[in-house]
């Protein structure tokens, strides 16, 4: 596979190299020679670790489409001739790129190349999951060209990491993980990999940013670097100047497909934990708190009297999760977990996932303006985790809905007819929204007919009058907004802050 590329509008794993080369002018090449070289230690690092960096070759059998004499030859991704052949055969095939009258031919084998590195002289290799995904055969190619068949130990799709194992035919060189938490902005780093099938290629740059969240997964916390990373670098190591692995090169941002100096690596702190579990269990066993969380916006923080805005707001608690018996409730804001500060929901997701299953931890929450500490014994996150248990309760007697206006909403007490109309589960209690004023703050916050208001300012409500009473009281108290706990028809909760002015 390839170094993944983030296009301006979407994530993608495919890039191409053209045949044209760019000339660097004599003027542009002039400058401080020392700055052009970078630190003296780069050559020492490369010499020390180069034999631990490997190429990963995979093959996969796929059904051929548009067979016949016009079938395009299978080229390694990133080959300098790939674009030439692609354009040539597409033009011969006519509109849509299909063959002229040819039927699908026999299955074809496609090949791809990526990078990896040896962490144990017994033949243990780390790479990206997308490098080996769906492969029928995986081979490790050492720096001296030796090619050895490898087997898959385990993968973690959420962090895009994989561990391979092969039987060494001679002594190997292995590298160790460094501490990515000690990296500073501006520190020099060295990337080594297999860009465009060119083999052990060394590039250098600096740490451009840390803890970068690019919304590619639930545990994003990438190291950003300007070291050149291209297609084929995926799974390769990012070294510090001591020769320790401080990241695994995984993604780039590029409008063209080539490196523009914005690359991302999974930090070694994350990689080391994932690799240990994959080697031990063949899978990931992540901690599970059993809550649904959302961001604490300025309006929500004002409603909950939290200054400054921080933490992860608990929007829902799983009835079978560890948080329930520990006393964590919807409306709590988690600000510290196991001694670590929680600034936002991503922080909480990462620290919970990294915590051992079965460990008892202190969870500090803010409830009604006061800090409370809850002791929670973490469970294990199941993947996929999609268990919704509907609790059957007695249906309310049918009654004629009485509608009341408040906060730009038409509100009515739940009855059988309204439950049927909006397909609201019996377990959902509260006041149903039957209409939303298009010019209201509620419309801007995406409330819609069929939503159910469960609580107002952390107090349960059962009628439009209850809501109006709470809103009037908040106005008297000088509050600028009111915090609503809102359920959808399936019982999934979220908090919404609406202006009361």
444-483 burial, b at 16+ Cβ within 10 Å, e below that, comes to ebebeeebbbbbbbbeebebbebbbebbeebeeeebebbb
SS3 288: strand
394 catalytic? Reply is no
Reported as a single tens digit per residue, the pLDDT across 275-310 is 999 999 998 888 999 999 998 988 888 888 888 899
Q: What is the mean pLDDT of residues 478-490?
A: 87
Choose, from 180, 234, 268, 487, the residue flagged as catalytic: 234
Our CA angle for 49, 276, 323, nearest 5°, is: 140
Choose, from 57, 130, 156, 303, the residue flagged as catalytic: 130
- Per-residue model confidence (pLDDT) at position 109: 67
How many residues in total does the chain contain?
Answer: 501
- Per-residue model confidence (pLDDT) at position 472: 85
Choose, from 99, 112, 160, 221, the residue flagged as catalytic: 160
Specify which residues 498 forms β-bridges with. Answer: 482
Reported as a single tens digit per residue, the pLDDT across 412-445 is 888 888 898 889 998 899 999 999 888 888 888 8
Whether the pLDDT of residue 339 is over 70: the answer is yes
Q: Where are the alpha helices (DSSP H) in 98-146?
A: 129-132
298 catalytic? Reply is no
130 catalytic? Reply is yes
Q: Where are the alpha helices (DSSP H) in 340-497?
A: 345-354, 416-422, 441-444, 464-476
């Amino acid at each position: 596979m390839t170094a993944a590329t983030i296009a301006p509008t979407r994530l993608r794993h495919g890039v191409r190299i053209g045949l044209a080369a760019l000339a660097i002018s004599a003027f542009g090449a002039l400058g401080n020679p020392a700055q052009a070289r970078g630190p003296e230690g780069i050559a020492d690092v490369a010499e020390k670790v180069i034999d631990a960096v490997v190429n990963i070759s995979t093959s996969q059998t796929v059904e051929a489409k548009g067979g016949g004499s016009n079938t395009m030859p299978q080229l390694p991704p990133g080959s300098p001739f790939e674009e030439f052949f692609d354009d040539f055969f597409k033009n011969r095939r006519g509109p849509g790129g299909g063959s002229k009258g040819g039927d699908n031919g026999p299955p074809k084998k496609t090949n791809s190349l990526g990078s990896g590195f040896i962490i144990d002289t017994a033949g243990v290799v780390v790479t990206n999951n997308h490098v080996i995904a769906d492969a029928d055969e995986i081979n490790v190619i050492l720096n001296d060209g030796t090619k050895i068949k490898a087997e898959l130990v385990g993968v973690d799709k959420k962090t895009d990491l994989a561990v391979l194992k092969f039987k060494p035919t001679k002594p190997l060189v292995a590298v160790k993980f460094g501490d990515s938490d000690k990296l500073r902005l501006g520190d020099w780093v060295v990337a080594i990999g297999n860009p465009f099938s060119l083999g052990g290629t060394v590039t250098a740059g600096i740490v451009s940013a840390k803890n970068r969240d690019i919304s590619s997964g639930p545990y994003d916390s990438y190291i950003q670097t300007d070291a050149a990373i291209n297609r084929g670098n995926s799974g390769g190591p990012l070294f510090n100047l001591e020769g320790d692995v401080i990241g695994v090169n995984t993604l780039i941002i590029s409008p063209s497909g080539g490196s523009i100096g914005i690359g991302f690596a999974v930090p070694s702190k994350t990689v080391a934990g994932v690799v240990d579990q994959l080697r031990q269990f063949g899978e990931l066993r992540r901690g599970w708190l059993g809550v649904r969380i959302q961001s604490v916006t300025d309006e929500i923080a004002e409603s909950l009297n939290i200054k400054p805005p921080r933490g992860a707001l608990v929007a829902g608690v799983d009835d079978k999760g560890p948080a329930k018996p520990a006393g964590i409730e919807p409306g709590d804001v988690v600000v510290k977990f196991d001694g670590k500060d929680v600034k936002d929901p991503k922080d909480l997701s990462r620290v919970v996932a990294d915590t051992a299953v079965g460990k008892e931890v202190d969870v500090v929450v803010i409830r009604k303006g006061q800090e409370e500490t809850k002791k929670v014994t973490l469970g294990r996150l199941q993947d996929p985790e999609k268990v919704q248990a509907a609790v059957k309760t007695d249906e309310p007697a049918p009654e004629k809905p009485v509608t009341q206006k408040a906060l730009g909403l038409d509100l009515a007490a739940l009855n059988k007819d309204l439950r049927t109309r909006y397909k609201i589960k019996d377990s959902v209690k509260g006041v149903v929204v039957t209409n939303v004023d298009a010019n209201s703050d509620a419309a801007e916050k995406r409330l819609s007919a069929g939503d159910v208001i469960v609580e107002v300012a952390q107090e349960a409500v059962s009628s439009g009058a209850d809501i109006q009473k709470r809103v009037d009281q908040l106005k008297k108290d000088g509050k600028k907004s009111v915090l609503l706990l809102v359920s959808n028809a399936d019982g999934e909760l979220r908090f919404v802050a609406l202006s009361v002015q």
